Structure 1
Amino acid sequence: MSKDTNHELTKTMEQYLETIYDLQKKDGFATVTDIAEVRDVKAPSVTYVLQKLGDAELVNYEKYRSVTLTPEGMKIAKRLERIHETLRWFLKLIGVDEEIADEDACEIEHIVRPETVTKLTQFAEWVKGAPKSPTWLTHFREYQETGARSSECEEED
């Protein structure tokens, strides 16, 4: 990576990497116009962020040409996608509406610490390997609906 190796990516920069990643998966590349449309911003705003991402060697960008992710930009975008999917899965597991879970995951993925992501990922892998409807999850869903704990969940003195 370039001289910006220690540069912290902003939420906006990460969101642009994700947008470019999605467009690149779909079309093989992204354009300033496509990015502006998806992000609902004007082209000069896109150009400004692309220049910063280019300086950090996260995108291949030349004015009036298509945009692609560098290997490092691709690595970051894929990591963000995995974090997003894990967060969205967890939020849906605990009963958050799918659309809200997706929006919240999009916000949380930019602020969550790597240690937290590791623990959530481990939890997700563990739960996915559990029986279809683990007892504790069934009890939790009943609690969400009724506000009452199952007698099986009561702690003994």
Structure 2
Amino acid sequence: MSRATGARVLVVNGPNLNLLGRREPELYGATTLDEIETLCRTTGEEHGLLVDFRQSNHEGVLIDTVQEAGRHAHGIVINAAGYTHTSVALRDALAAAGIPIVEVHLTNIHRREAYRRTSFVSEAADAVICGAGAHGYVLALTHLSHLLENKDR
């Protein structure tokens, strides 16, 4: 049995990700956030993780969600979207959470506009996955499971 079995993980999504599937599909693909949620829940089940999937367009709600996760979850996967590049407050909440964090982005932020190449979230993350599209969430949850399994080794 995996040591991650039954671990509660938060998958948190930032602003405009609710528009996936119709927002700039040439960049972000045709997969919707609902489809990504299903993918995350399936991946979570495969790794014995209990997935709590959330999205908000509001910075304060995301910060509250991360703070709550720090008290009740074992790990976080986060796609902070536009707040990746602007929110020191979200970065600080992630750093204070005290649990493993994997940052994920659908696109390769390092091949995008210069302002997207800076990630405040990365400073608090144990790993960063970008440019793998929706599959990045699978990779992120798989790696988070690995981190949780090896946490005390």
- State TM-score, norm by structure 1: 0.23
- State TM-score, norm by structure 2: 0.24
- Which is bigger in relative contact order (C-alpha 8 A, separation at least 6)? 2
Higher helix residue share: 1
